[in-house]
């Protein structure tokens, strides 16, 4: 079995002006594609040749983990972006966020801080643990909360390639624009 | 005295077409400036204030992470600007070439090994040519770590370094890190590398 690059669930220019078509052409067409290609090449002849993604993320190390987790992380990131997003959570997710963080704004503030202070390449996440408790975590490079037993609900890619063409060194401006295309409907489905 | 952002000894566009002016301007004026300011803020009022950057890095495991990240970023970029130049020796020569040959077999072998270290560093980081005793070795470090840090896997004196954070090349090369590293060799100032090697 080999992994394939999922198509973007929106047109390449759909997230303008918040995330540019040019950024997405590279981010999806080059970076995400390279992780898929590298993963398929690296697993050949290893115990992971026919493994599913969860097994790779939980058990693999080195290049297989890095490329496998980055395939998962990027698919997860792109899936939750939309030109017509639900801009707020509702129902049980809204209640869980409010009981954990106080308000939606307080959650966003804490999440933004995690995204902006992740030093170097990495990701910020909203996750749920086995008991259903929500928390915010940072991972570096290809790090993925699935490996640590969490259920990821929402993520922001803070590798510089996610924003450098549009925002250069201004990561906080990217994170602010990220929320304008982040679809809470998708997050609710995951929750 | 606080650390100061070192001025470039050449114009932002001096390394064109290998490294573009816009990249240089943001890399130096924003990224390096931020590391410098954040380092000063992190040590202000502590007993670290007043130490040299080399002293700080040599005992970095005792420091808060903000000093590690920003102190490394401050030092690494100083080195990076200095080991590049629009002119200057384009190939190593003299003692440096001799030790490169002894350590790696040939200049070409060195270049291949250094390039491999730069391309295989996953995520943000640096590749280094490091002086150890009388010899030279190649290493790479994550984020803003470097071989002067007591916690580095390969310790020694860095004499050449290439920044492989995406901010070093993304505006011009995007995902093509190999093209950036190849271009970098066109602007290496081997006179400065030799000076650092001599110590």
pLDDT tens per residue, range A176-187: 999 999 999 999
Angle, helices B94-104 vs B190-198, to 10°: value is 80
Q: Which residues of B touch A169 (CB under 8 A)?
A: 26, 30-31, 34, 167
**What pLDDT tens digit does each residue of chain B (199 aa) get?**
699 999 999 999 999 999 999 999 999 999 999 999 999 999 999 999 999 999 999 999 999 999 999 999 999 999 999 999 997 667 999 999 999 999 999 999 999 999 999 999 999 999 999 999 999 999 999 999 999 999 999 999 999 999 999 999 999 999 999 999 999 999 999 999 999 999 8
**Is A25 exposed, middle or buried, given 0-12, 13-18 or 19+ CB atoms closer than 10 A?**
middle
What are the b/e assignments for B131-169, b being 16+ CB within 10 Å? beeeebbbbbbbbbbbbbbeebeebbbbbbbbbbbbbbb
d(C-alpha B184, C-alpha A11), whole Å: 36
Which of B34, B143, B165 lies at the smallest CB-CB distance from A160? B165
- pLDDT for B87 equals 76
Task: Tell me B166's DSSP state.
Answer: G
Q: Do B143 and A119 touch (CB under 8 A)?
A: yes
Whole-angstrom distance between the N-terminal and C-terminal Cα of chain A? Answer: 29
Query: Can you give the pLDDT at residue B145?
Result: 98
CB B102, CB B134: distance < 8 Å: no
- Residues B86 and B14 sit within 8 Å (Cβ to Cβ): yes
Picking from B160, B166, B170, B167, the residue whose alpha carbon sits closest to that of residue B140 is: B160
The Cα–Cα gap between A98 and A132 comes to 14
Query: Dmax of chain B from CA atoms?
Result: 49
d(CA B161, CA B139): 10
The pLDDT assigned to A1 comes to 58
Chain A touched by B142 (CB under 8 Å) = yes
- The ipTM, to two decimals, is 0.96
Please give the share of chain A, as a percent, with pLDDT higher than 70. Answer: 99
User: Which token pair is A125?
Assistant: 């996440």
Q: Does B26 touch chain A (CB under 8 A)?
A: yes
Q: What is the pLDDT of residues A65-85, one digit of tens each?
A: 999 999 999 999 999 999 999
Residues in B closer than 8 angstroms to A31, CB to CB, are 175
A to B CB pairs, distance under 8 Å? 54
When CB atoms are compared, the residue of B31, B142, B144 closest to A169 is: B31
Neighbours of B186 (CB within 10 A): 13
Percent of chain A with pLDDT over 90: 99
Residue A75 near residue A110 (C-beta atoms within 8 A)? no
Predicted pLDDT of residue A155: 98
What confidence score (pLDDT) does residue B89 get? 66
Reduced to 3 states, what is the DSSP secondary structure of residue A33? helix
Place of tokens 């992190």: B42
Measured CA to CA, the distance from residue A17 to residue B97 in angstroms comes to 51
pLDDT number for residue B199 = 84
What is the C-alpha to C-alpha distance for residues A46 and B99, in angstroms, rounded to an integer?
40
User: B171: which chain A residues are within 8 Å (Cβ-Cβ)?
Assistant: 164-165, 168
Helix (H, G, I), strand (E, B) or coil at A90: coil
Is 0.95 topped by the overall pTM? yes
Which of A120, A141, A164 is closest, CB to CB, to B170? Answer: A164
**How far apart are alpha carbons A122 and A160 in whole angstroms?**
9
User: Most B CBs within 10 Å: which of A119, A161, A172, as the mutation test of the B interface?
Assistant: A119
- Residue B15 buriedness (CB in 10 A; 0-12 / 13-18 / 19+): buried
Of the candidates A131, A130, A148, the residue with the CA atom closest to the CA atom of residue A139: A148
State the alpha helices, DSSP H only, in chain A.
Answer: 21-26, 33-43, 53-59, 62-79, 91-101, 104-117, 164-167, 171-178, 184-190
> By C-alpha distance, which of A156, A154, A159, A163 is closest to A187?
A154
- Helices and strands, counts by H and E, chain A: 9, 3
Give the tens place of pLDDT for each residue, A27-54.
Answer: 999 999 999 999 999 999 999 999 999 9
């Amino acid at each position: 079995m080999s992994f394939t690059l999922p198509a973007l669930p929106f047109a390449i220019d759909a997230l303008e002006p918040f995330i540019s078509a040019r950024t997405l052409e590279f981010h999806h067409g080059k970076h995400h594609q390279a992780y898929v290609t590298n993963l398929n090449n690296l697993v050949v002849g290893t115990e992971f040749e026919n493994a599913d993604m969860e097994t790779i993320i939980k058990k693999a190390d080195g290049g297989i983990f890095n490329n496998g987790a980055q395939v998962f992380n990027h698919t997860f990131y792109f899936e939750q972006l939309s030109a017509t997003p639900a801009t707020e959570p509702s129902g049980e997710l809204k209640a869980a966020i409010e009981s954990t963080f106080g308000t939606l704004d307080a959650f966003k503030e804490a999440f933004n801080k995690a995204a902006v202070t992740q030093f170097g390449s990495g990701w910020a996440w909203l996750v749920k643990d086995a008991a259903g408790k929500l928390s915010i975590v940072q991972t570096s490079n290809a790090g993925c909360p699935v490996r640590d037993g969490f259920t990821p609900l929402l993520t922001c890619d803070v590798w510089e390639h996610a924003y450098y063409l549009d925002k250069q060194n201004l990561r906080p401006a990217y994170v602010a624009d990220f929320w304008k295309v982040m679809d809470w409907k998708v997050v609710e489905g995951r929750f | 005295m606080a650390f100061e952002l070192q001025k470039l000894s050449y114009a932002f566009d001096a390394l064109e077409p290998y490294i573009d002016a816009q990249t240089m301007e943001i890399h130096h004026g924003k990224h390096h400036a931020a590391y410098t300011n954040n380092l000063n803020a992190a040590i202000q009022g502590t007993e670290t204030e007043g130490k040299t950057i080399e002293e700080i890095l040599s005992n970095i495991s005792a420091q808060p992470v903000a000093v590690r990240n920003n102190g490394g970023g401050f030092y690494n970029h100083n080195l990076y600007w200095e080991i590049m130049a629009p002119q200057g020796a384009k190939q190593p020569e003299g003692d440096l070439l001799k030790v490169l040959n002894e350590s790696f077999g040939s200049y070409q072998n060195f270049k291949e090994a250094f390039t491999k270290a730069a391309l295989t560093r996953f995520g943000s980081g640096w590749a280094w040519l490091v002086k150890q005793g009388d010899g030279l070795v190649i290493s790479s470090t994550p984020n803003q770590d470097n071989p002067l840090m007591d916690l580095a896997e390969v310790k020694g004196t860095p004499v050449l370094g290439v920044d492989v954070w995406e901010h070093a090349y993304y505006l011009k090369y995007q995902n093509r890190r190999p093209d950036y590293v190849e271009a970098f060799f066109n602007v290496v100032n081997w006179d400065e590398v030799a000076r650092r090697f001599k110590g």
